[in-house]
Amino acid sequence: MKAVLPHSLEFYPMQAADLDAVAQIEAGIQAFPWSRGNFADSLHAGYSAWVARLPDRLIGFSVVMQVLDEAHILTIGISSSLQGQGYGARLLQHAMHQVTTHGARRLLLEVRPSNARAVALYRNFGFQQIGVRKGYYPATEGREDGLVFQKELA
């Protein structure tokens, strides 16, 4: 079977019809996932919400809130079976391009310290850690900190 390369990935604005697939991916990659309702609320609020598709299926999503020249990645994810193949990098590039096109000069996000793959991806893209939000994320036992990263956009 021939592998599908990241260049076949396409991006579309998230629609209500995508919510079940998006929530299913989220549930497969997060121990404490956003609900379908959280994604629906993001659409209703007008956030920059996108899906990533291969020719045969939806494989990822991003939701970014932008206020004036600052944007904040609220959630971003790629189906667990396709992680580590370059799709997450392409999705992150797309999110950065979208907010830059709409005037953002700075991009922020939080990430769990235990999510080493995501931390490495953000660092690879030039994000700098600027802080820690103590007990930011729910965890199996108690809470987990959130590392705050930022990137200045050109």
Rounded CA gap, 14 and 94, in Å? 13
Contacts from 114-121 at CB under 8 Å and sequence distance 24+?
A: 114/144, 117/83, 117/84, 118/88, 119/147, 121/88, 121/89, 121/92
Domain containing 117 equals: 6-152
**Mean pLDDT, rounded, of the chain:** 94
List all residues 6 or more positions away from 7 whose beta carbon is below 8 Å from its beta carbon.
none
Q: What percent of the chain has pLDDT over 70?
A: 95
Q: Is residue 118 part of a domain?
A: yes
Q: Is residue 144 part of a domain?
A: yes
How many structural domains comprise the chain?
A: 1
Q: Is residue 100 part of a domain?
A: yes
Q: Is residue 145 part of a domain?
A: yes
Look at the alpha carbons of 87, 15, 28, 151 in this order and tell me if their dihedral is positive or negative. Answer: positive
pLDDT bin (cut points 50, 70, 90) of residue 154 is confident
Identify the pLDDT of residue 38: 98
Q: Catalytic residues, which ones? A: 110, 122
At 38, is the secondary structure helix, strand, or coil?
A: helix
Identify the pLDDT of residue 2: 45
Q: Is residue 1 part of a domain?
A: no
Which residue is it, tokens 């598709």? 53
Identify the pLDDT of residue 82: 95
Q: What is the CATH number of the domain that holds 78?
A: 3.40.630.30
Q: Is residue 124 part of a domain?
A: yes
CB 106 within 8 A of CB 69: yes
Rounded CA gap, 153 and 151, in Å? 6
83, β-bridge pairs? none
Q: Is residue 51 part of a domain?
A: yes
Report the pLDDT averaged over residues 117-140.
95
Q: Is residue 20 part of a domain?
A: yes
pLDDT bin (cut points 50, 70, 90) of residue 52 is very high
